[in-house]
Chains A and B, each alone.
Chain A
């Protein structure tokens, strides 16, 4: 009774006054010390102060008006007199004498306080009391754990238990209200679940990779969702966060209240070592929870040289690499992305592989998962996979078995489940305007490769370059409307504060009405002090019109991609640009004020001869001369950088059957170019590691036997293979030898079975064969915007293809 009366009185007398200031943390510590408060109590106060502060901040972020400094300091001083009888009153008295009225009021009430019924009545006192109820001694353990202690203490006093239970129920209701308001669990809010990586992070490079907490990252209460999804990218944070698909899938899944999608990235080698030493599991970035606690872990396979990281991440998560070795309690491990179009090298790792546009198939899969889980989950994973295999774009590797000839030749896949489809058609978003587009992308705190807003303006490409896998996989072309693009750009910029926006596609200049779109966006961006970047422009006269406008505002680098040096070889690869067009583009660029441009070529293309390589040199020389002849005296000397990469034959392209040049031969070609190009003044030359390209080719076209190579390589220490500083070719060679798999990127017989042919991107085998034959005859095939070329998608329902090929000549 007295304490209640006291509480009321203190409320009346604690109207904030000028003298009622809040002591800093430092002052609080010194007050505690002067008062002789024992050390273990101070430690307790520090822990409560931290928990209370986090609760206060979480609530203020949702608009509740709370003074977090008052909370922090009051919590720090709440047990100042704990050694005394009636310590709340004594402590308050002591603080009031020093002029800390508001703090004294909180301290006086902290033992008897009852939480309010409504969040509208929440005060700093509630935050302090809640903080006090989640801390055991000096460790934040969470409310339920803390209450276990209380029950234990009063176990032999039934009367007390009844009273306590009523109180606890009231507290629980209050906690629920806070959780709902903040959209996070109380354990998470008060820091009871924060992984103990805190001090570990000081010893690793770029610790910002591992902390999350970025603007627009989504935090949910795990107890209120039905499905916890981990979106895994098998590379480091700064690579992963530059991938637009991450933003699409992440926000698309998180829009659904019953799903919490978190991100999972590969820790850099230094962090991986620290985690191993401290026995920390691979964790989800948002919750910090071990990956094992998730329901589904979905890997995106963007490039082959990330495959060893998939193995490492599963190891780090404490999960078996092969699906057959995992059990019902383990998360479902799935994959998607361009490399999933030949999933065989990792087929035995994944329970399920999603083929094609993720916007279509992923939500369907998640909904099915939730439906079956809520239905009791009878039949376990197997039942789910059987259901899932009926969806378009879903491949269940365990429902198929490879067959090999005695010679070792791959003969095809045999179905082991009768209902499994013989061919898996990719799932396609038919209308990109209806597809999900992220308007509030996560904004990384640390520097990433691309740290900017990005809007995909269309998917697919009509050019039909024969080496290009993306051009084959992402057919047909689907455009977003101008107004949708413009609205998305404006929304993304408003929600992120980015100062750069990029338009994404495989060939931006091919977008219908690209000039109008770019002009409009440029006006907007100039007004908003945002720079607009338009990559993947083809350098025809049309694109230069756009560039002329763009460079008034901001000058960017300029890259030409003739891909091959000679006209003959450009015909072979169906890159239809002529030498005259290249030189015109150079002249345009110089006249617009560029004095540096970049050329991009490939070596090792099918049918390549010495002449084709020499042509790279002569084109480069000609470009420099052309540019120089236009420059006036006093201009900075024109320079050209020539960048050469090594051709890697990819599945589902017309070149899928060809052998790759040996690593040594590719290297020789690069060295030759280096010598030749270095002789030309103003030309600099860059080339790619041929050994990496060799491994990439082997992984890209591997069958299921490749997994033993990948796991062996991972075991030997291969990881982050796309990073030159981490790539270890000799270990890969050893892995191939140990696994007894040939390390020769040999040709496939054109009439034989291919390991990836059960996966269908919609492009027909007959078309690929025809394109391969036309390539060898050096016949070009038209851009299919001009009329169908009969690839098999039949996206325009137009039959002109046959006729065209008769007119154009060459094999049909």
Chain B
């Protein structure tokens, strides 16, 4: 049986890395005696695949994990419950589905992700957003190793202020995400600060991934709708 689950990573769990999360799920699966399919080879390991890694320090309400069992046909709702009794506080399954055979891997469907970004208040945030989003080219160095600057503007699908109060601005932004084209919201935000002539301070910014999306025609849709996940009515 193929399963897809959506989980959240919050609170203290934002401080553990993607690799750590993988280990958490490997162990959870082992403890629940779910008969995962193992890879063939000299050092067999269970096949668990995450749609997309999440940066350390970011929270998320929308992480996806896909796996396949040998014989297990536990109903998704029960699977969710069993996982939630043993996962560490801060990681929680929100939804579980079964996936059809044959089917594309969920990670290959990811095209974009939506983020909620909280930054300290500054007066010109509206102008900065307009100007930043209005640019045709935004050059940025993607990593230290590869110092060739690239244009990240095409990877920004949307960016808008959601609300603001005396000390905080909440922005929402949809960015390219996935193996084809990927933009880390931190890099986007650093350029945003540069554009507004502000100093960027990682310590006071909060990132939360709120959706992971794929293309359905020319519309971005949450992953579960793209892969034929069998949803169950929630009770």
Contacts and interface: CB of A to CB of B under 8 A. Distances in A.
Contact of B165 (A42, A68, A207, A497): A42
B15 interface: yes
B13 A447 contact: no
Contacts, number: 100
Contacts of B16: 208, 211, 445-446
A200 B56 CA distance: 14
B162 A25 contact: no
A215 B30 contact: no
B92 A447 contact: no
B85 interface: yes
Interface stretch (B19-27, B102-110, B124-132): B19-27
Interface string B6-50: 000001110111011001101111110000001000011010000
Contacts of A24: 61, 210
Contacts of B61: 24-25
A212 interface: yes
B33 to A, nearest CB: 9
B22 to A, nearest CB: 11
A38 to B, nearest CB: 9
Query: Which of A32, A40, A494, A499: most chain B Cβ within 10 A?
Result: A499
Contacts of B56: 207
Interface in B28-84: 28-31, 38, 43-44, 46, 56-57, 61, 84
Contacts of B26: 497, 499
A203 B15 CA distance: 11
Contacts of A408: none
Nearest to A274: B203
B20 A499 contact: no
A160 B203 CA distance: 45
A434 B12 CA distance: 37
14 contacts: A24-B61, A25-B116, A30-B162, A42-B163, A199-B203, A202-B202, A208-B15, A445-B16, A445-B88, A447-B19, A494-B31, A497-B29, A497-B31, A498-B27
Given A61-B84, A213-B88, 6 more contacts: A18-B233, A40-B165, A202-B57, A445-B16, A495-B31, A497-B26
A69 interface: yes
A40 B164 CA distance: 11
Contacts of A529: 38, 44, 46
A200 to B, nearest CB: 7
Query: Which of A43, A69, A210, A213: most chain B Cβ within 10 A?
Result: A213
Contact of B210 (A25, A201, A493, A495): A25
B27 A16 contact: no
A522 to B, nearest CB: 16
A29 B165 CA distance: 12
A445 B94 contact: no
Interface string B140-173: 0000000000000000000000111110001010
B139 interface: no
B163 A443 contact: no
Contacts of B13: 211, 213, 445
A378 B165 CA distance: 56
Contacts of A497: 26-31
A493 B61 CA distance: 30
Interface string A26-47: 1001101100000110110000
Question: 10 closest Cβ contacts across the A-B interface?
Answer: A497-B27, A39-B165, A207-B15, A497-B30, A497-B31, A211-B12, A208-B16, A445-B16, A213-B12, A33-B163
Contacts of B88: 213-215, 445
A43 B167 CA distance: 10
A446 B20 contact: yes
A214 B13 CA distance: 10
Given A43-B165, A211-B12, A529-B38, A446 B17 contact: yes
A673 to B, nearest CB: 35
Nearest to B206: A199
B199 interface: no
Interface of B: 11-13, 15-17, 19-20, 23-24, 26-31, 38, 43-44, 46, 56-57, 61, 84-86, 88-90, 92, 94, 116, 162-166, 170, 172, 202-204, 210, 233-235
B85 A61 contact: yes
Nearest to A443: B27
What does DSSP make chain A's interface, helix, strand, loop or mixed? helix
A454 to B, nearest CB: 15
Contacts of A495: 31
Nearest to A67: B234
A446 B17 CA distance: 8
A681 to B, nearest CB: 29
A401 B210 CA distance: 65
A447 B85 CA distance: 23
B126 to A, nearest CB: 14
Nearest to B10: A53
Contacts of B172: 26
B27 A199 contact: no
Nearest to A496: B27
A17 B193 CA distance: 45
Given A24-B210, A497-B31, A61 B89 contact: yes
Contacts of B12: 211-213
Given A213-B88, A445-B16, A445-B20, A39 B166 contact: yes
B24 A445 contact: yes
Contacts of B164: 39
Nearest to A210: B15
B115 to A, nearest CB: 10
Given A29-B170, A497-B29, A497-B31, A208 B86 contact: no
Query: Which of A207, A215, A445: most chain B Cβ within 10 A?
Result: A445
A604 B107 CA distance: 57
Nearest to A33: B163
Contacts of B89: 57, 61, 213
Given A16-B235, A26-B172, A214-B88, A499 B30 contact: yes
Interface in A282-298: none
A69 B210 CA distance: 14
Contacts of A25: 61, 116, 210
A203 B57 CA distance: 10
A743 to B, nearest CB: 41
A48 B28 CA distance: 31
A625 interface: no
Interface string A89-119: 0000000000000000000000000000000
Nearest to B12: A211
A60 interface: yes
B15 A201 contact: yes
A6 B164 CA distance: 35
Contact of B202 (A40, A203, A207, A210): A203
